Amino acid sequence: MTNLDAAFSAMADPTRRAILARLALGEATVMEIAKPFEMTQPAISRHLKVLEGAGLIVRRAEGTRRPCRLAPEAISEIDRWLDMLRRALSRNYDRLDDVLAGMEAKK
């Protein structure tokens, strides 16, 4: 599994995106993260493991707590990939622009 596989498939789950959104507000412990969800703690622990495995979050140990935060480099590889698509799309768009410009010119 590449990092991209892991990162995209981690983000494909709404619970995990909600966790990321929560962490966007700042560090939180497993219990703090779990509270708003109608789901058991082990389920959340697993989601966190997936997010960590995908390099989207990092965790430190603080006594018995395990606070999580967004990983600094989280979305850089995803960004690079999406840039490729973005560029392709804007090339297509430019081409369309040319076509439209051509049509204008002919009028």
The residues that touch its own copies, with contacts defined as CB under 8 A, are 2, 4-5, 8-9, 11-14, 17, 20-21, 23-25, 69-70, 72, 74-75, 78-79, 81-82, 84-89, 92-93
d(CA 35, CA 56): 21
- What residue ranges bind DNA (CB under 7 A)? 9, 12-13, 15-16, 29-32, 38-43, 45-50, 59, 63-67
Helix (H) or strand (E) holding 70, with range, is strand 68-70
Q: Specify the 3-state DSSP secondary structure of 63.
A: coil
Q: Which is closer to DNA, CB of 40 or CB of 90?
A: 40
What's the min distance (Å) between Cβ of 68 and its own copies? 13
Other CB atoms within a 10 A radius of the CB of residue 32 amount to 13
Contact in structure between 45 and 14 (CB atoms under 8 Å): no
Q: Tell me whether residue 1 is exposed, middle or buried, using C-beta atoms within 10 angstroms of its C-beta: 0 to 12, 13 to 18, 19 or more.
A: exposed
Q: How far is the CB of 100 from its own copies (least distance, A)?
A: 14
DSSP, res 22: H
43/100 with CB nearer DNA: 43
Q: Which is nearer to DNA, 4 or 100 (CB)?
A: 4
CB of 71 to its own copies, least distance (A): 8
